[in-house]
Structure 1
Amino acid sequence: TGGAILGDRIRMQQHALDEGVFIKSLATRGHLGGLSRSTIDIVNVMDAMGKDVILIETVGVGQDEVEIVKVAHTNLVLVVPGLGDDIQAIKAGILEIADIFVINKADRDGADKTKREIETMVSMGIFKEGEWKPPVLSAVAATDKGTAELLEAVDRHQEYIYLEGNLSRYRREKARVELVEILKTRLIEKAVSDLDAHGLLDPLLADMAKKRKDPYSISEKVVNHSFAFHFLNGGKAGKGKRR
């Protein structure tokens, strides 16, 4: 594919030079879930600008990297045969997030076997009547083979979302993820700032360094104490040091 050097511009040179395409690369910076913290914000900006197609490429998916399902309307899981990470990754939880499976590089040896295995796992899923069942498609991106079928599947899934009234659920879930991410960031910043302001941060770090306390018990105590202190004081910040 040419790799992902220079923000994927190398493997997407044709698109990068297209005036109708905007590409923005984002570093995860340690954020779990397979996405950057800024992904939702940028999707919101693109949506507000009236962009009808927004593609999000994650760093890859594993058991804990499925945040994309809470952001995108249609989720594609691309599997390449012969890399050893296809079926194991799917067994770890990817089956639950995929709206469409795509076996890319389907001209490789083992592609048919991989497709059959995924189709078997999909068939073992429990689907209600009328519920979307993920199709398993084959494609060869380098030659554009299977692209038309993939676009048709995406269109069918979009129709399913709108016809079944699922769009409001998708939007609520996206709003929930957005709020929770902001709250997590702000609460962490607030907790660290309060500990530092009251002269508690350095002593706690010293206790951890000397193995007198562990980070889990400290975190639990800080969270419980912070909320209790907040509510007992009517939501106002206290003065002086806390015990």
Structure 2
Amino acid sequence: MNDLVEKVLQGDRRSAAKLITLIENDAPEKRDVLRQIYPHTGRAHVVGITGSPGAGKSSLVDELTREIRSEDLKVGVIAVDPTSPFSGGALLGDRIRMQEHATDRGVFIRSMGTRGSLGGLAEATRDAIRVLDAFGCDVILVETVGVGQSELDIMHHADTTLVVLTPQAGDHIQTIKAGIMEIADIFVINKADLDGARKMVTDIEAMLDLSPLINGWRPPVVTTIAIDHRGIPELWATIKKHRAWRKGNKGETNRERVRRELAEIIQRQLVHLISRDLDRHYEHLVEKVAARQLDPYSAAMDIIRQSWKGGLTQ
């Protein structure tokens, strides 16, 4: 396993793919692998691309990749697709859409199924980002599944979040939704050749006039026609401008992100431990609650305390 990590740090593509698969499958070696690569992360700029289905996110990622590669930067792409609740499979269509970049050694493309995870991303997305960071990617593009107003996890993973909207798709209604407004670092009006694009820009600008600035940053509104590469250079320039702005606020943002990640890891570990031990060690508490001898909240706190003391590191 140490050899595999070392190869990733040297830029070996096959080893990077193997490590991501190991993480996705939650292999026993996962924790040790992440411990080894963590000191080599934090250099890549992560760009999240989210928005409703049909907004042209994949085309936007494709053209952004081309634009970034024109500066000879190494690009990682993580494209998240919904997993079927029936078969457990995912279409992973971005591998089809981005075939042009498949032979480019400066581009690493990884499609991931959500595997039932909510929030628009796969559970392993954050760790896959770290692998690509350690692999040497300068920019990592993360495309979420088509989302509505509540699947906002990308804001906790990305350094710059693009919210992609399209005219004539009812998206102007979304601009008044607090969640979407708050996660966007940049608004992208894609398919801007359609009627209503200018009105959508005006509506978003009006909403931004009524919204407080986040640490002094006002999200720009960029229009694009991704399939013609129109507006893509301007979009990439805006992303770089946001990256430069972030440098003055990076410490606080990173601390917030670390705090959230630690809370999520603790939560997952506790759920795992309690689910594992509930039938085996806590049946007496279940019986007491069922007999009305103990209330559920007291029983739950007792289980949490015992699990915390007994097995968090197991």
**Percent identity of equivalent pairs:** 44
Structure 1: which amino acid aligns with 2:266?
Answer: L
| TM-score normalized with structure 2 length | 0.63
Instruction: Tell me, in whole angstroms, the C-alpha distance in 1 between the residues paired with 2:106 and 2:186.
Output: 26
Task: Return the match for 2:156 from 70, 76, 79.
Answer: 70
Structure 1: which amino acid aligns with 2:246?
Answer: I
Alignment match, 1:151: 236
Q: Which has the larger radius of gyration?
A: 1
Alignment match, 1:112: 198
1:73-126 deviations in whole A, cap 9, x for unaligned? 111111011112443265141111111001000001111111111111111111
Where in structure 1 are there 5+ consecutive unaligned residues? 238-243
| Contact residue 139 and residue 145 of structure 1 kept, 8 A | yes
| Contact residue 63 and residue 89 of structure 1 kept, 8 A | no
Alignment match, 1:98: 184
Instruction: Tell me, in whole angstroms, the C-alpha distance in 2 between the residues paired with 1:152 and 1:123.
Output: 23
| Contact residue 77 and residue 102 of structure 1 kept, 8 A | yes
> In structure 2, do the counterparts of structure 1 residues 63 and 225 end up closer, same or farther at CA, with 3 Å as the change threshold?
farther
| TM-score normalized with structure 1 length | 0.79
Measured after TM superposition, the shift of residue 224 of structure 1 is: 1.3
Alignment match, 1:134: 219
C-alpha RMSD of matched pairs (Å): 2.8
Instruction: Tell me, in whole angstroms, the C-alpha distance in 2 between the residues paired with 1:83 and 1:222.
Output: 49
Output aligned runs, 1:129-208, within 5 Å.
Answer: 131-162=216-247, 164=248, 166-198=249-281, 200=283
109-118 vs 7-16, greater mean Cα deviation = 7-16
Instruction: Tell me, in whole angstroms, the C-alpha distance in 1 between the residues paired with 2:179 and 2:282.
Output: 43
Task: Return the match for 2:302 from 208, 225, 229.
Answer: 225
Structure 1: which amino acid aligns with 2:117?
Answer: H
Instruction: Tell me, in whole angstroms, the C-alpha distance in 2 between the residues paired with 1:99 and 1:6.
Output: 27
Alignment match, 2:107: 21
Structure 1: which amino acid aligns with 2:234?
Answer: E
Instruction: Tell me, in whole angstroms, the C-alpha distance in 2 between the residues paired with 1:62 and 1:185.
Output: 25
Structure 1: which amino acid aligns with 2:128?
Answer: I
65-74 vs 81-90, greater mean Cα deviation = 81-90
| Contact residue 70 and residue 170 of structure 1 kept, 8 A | no
Instruction: Tell me, in whole angstroms, the C-alpha distance in 1 between the residues paired with 2:119 and 2:128.
Output: 17
- 1:12 to 2:98 alignment: yes
| Contact residue 68 and residue 75 of structure 1 kept, 8 A | yes
| Contact residue 35 and residue 59 of structure 1 kept, 8 A | yes
49-58 vs 86-95, greater mean Cα deviation = 86-95
Measured after TM superposition, the shift of residue 199 of structure 1 is: 6.2
| Contact residue 174 and residue 180 of structure 2 kept, 8 A | no
Where in structure 2 are there 5+ consecutive unaligned residues? 1-55, 60-80, 82-90
